[in-house]
Amino acid sequence: MKDNKLFGKELEKRTHEFAVRIIRLSSKLPHTPEGSVVRNQITKSGTSIGANYREANRARSKADFRNKITICEGEASETQYWLEVIRDMRWISWEQLKPEYEECCELLAIFTSIGMKKRSNDSDQRTQ
């Protein structure tokens, strides 16, 4: 149990740091109508990951935890999408974008894994 709490706090810190990095990245986007749309979208999705994970760690039930983790997974996937749009638009060099993209991929993998594990555990409990 202690390891899970330690992992939870580390992941909270990691998602918080990711949110700060996304905000800094978004400030580098062009000040055009299109850039503003992407800036708004990536800022919302990139900061939502950590906020929802923090809420998940304070969930009132297993179902609430599972729901928040699903939201984290969706927000990470959306952030990955916007990072790909920024890359394809060449608004920010790949060298500058790559660390955030790689971190986003790792966060998406983590939340996907947590979600799959929770769904599997729930399924196992229903069959017993």
96 falls within a domain: yes
The pLDDT, as a whole number, for residue 8 is 85
Torsion of Cα atoms, 62 then 22 then 90 then 112, to 10°: -20
| Domain enclosing residue 109, as ranges | 2-121
First and final C-alpha spacing in the chain: 23
Give the Cα separation of 75 and 78 in Å (integer).
Answer: 5
Residue 46 neighbours by CB distance under 10 Å: 28
The pLDDT, as a whole number, for residue 3 is 54
Average pLDDT over residues 84-89: 98
Q: Write the CATH number for 36.
A: 1.20.1440.60
- Give the count of domains, the chain: 1
59 falls within a domain: yes
Whether 120 shows a pLDDT value over 70: the answer reads: no
Give the mean pLDDT of the chain: 91
pLDDT band at 30, cuts 50/70/90?
A: very high
126 falls within a domain: no
Give the Cα separation of 89 and 39 in Å (integer).
Answer: 13
Give the Cα separation of 67 and 91 in Å (integer).
Answer: 34
104 falls within a domain: yes
89 falls within a domain: yes
114 falls within a domain: yes
Whether 127 shows a pLDDT value over 90: the answer reads: no
Residue with tokens 């990470």: 76
pLDDT tens-digit readout, 49-83 = 999 999 999 999 999 999 999 999 999 999 999 99
Q: How many residues does the chain have?
A: 128
128 falls within a domain: no
Which is higher by pLDDT, 120 or 73? 73
